[in-house]
Amino acid sequence: MSAREIRSRVGADIWASYFKFCVERNPWDKVLSFYWMEKCRSSEPLTLDDFLQRDQIGLNWGLYADDDLGGPVVDQVVRYESLSEELDSLFKTLNVPWAGLRVSAKSEYRQDRRCYRDVLTEPQAEIVKRRFEREISFHGYRY
C-alpha cells in the first residue's frame, strides 16, 4: 500500500502525528536482486535483458513518495546499503528497543554476488538509470 493510500485511510491528523520511514536501495543493486528472485521463482528461463524489459522491475518510489507533493512523504528514508547502522540510529532516536538485524531474507536467490558494476552492461545500466531517474536524482545514487 502506498503512503498516499495510507494517509487517505488514516486521515491527515493521524498521518501527521506518526513518524514514517521506509528503506530504499541503490537501484542498480536492487534490480539485480529482484532479477535473481524472479529468475529463481520462474518456471521459465529468464534473462536479465528480458527482465529489464518488464514494466515493474522493483520500483518503490510511488510507495513512499507523491510527485504531486514534491517527492517523499515519509519522515526518513533509510538506505539499504547502510541498513543496520541507520536503523540503529533511527530506533535509538525513537527510543525503540532494538537488538540489531538478525535476518537475511531472500538471500538464497542471488547466485551472482558481484557488484552491479561488474554485472550490468552499459545498455542495461542505462535502462535502470532511466527507470529509476527520480530515486537516483533524489537520493544521489551513482553508477
* pLDDT tens-digit readout, 19-71: 999 999 999 999 999 999 999 988 899 999 999 998 778 889 999 998 888 88
Q: Which of 123, 108, 93 is nearest to 21 (CA)?
A: 93
Number of structural domains found in the chain: 1
pLDDT, position 135 = 94
When the pLDDT of each residue in the chain is averaged and rounded to a whole number, the result is 91
| CB-based contacts of 2-8 (< 8 A; 24+ apart in sequence) | 2/62, 2/63, 2/64, 3/63, 3/64, 3/65, 3/66, 3/73, 3/74, 4/66, 4/73, 7/73
The residue assigned the cell 541503490 is 26
Query: pTM here?
Result: 0.86
pLDDT, position 107 = 66
Longest dimension (CA), the chain: 48
Q: What is the domain range of residue 12?
A: 3-139
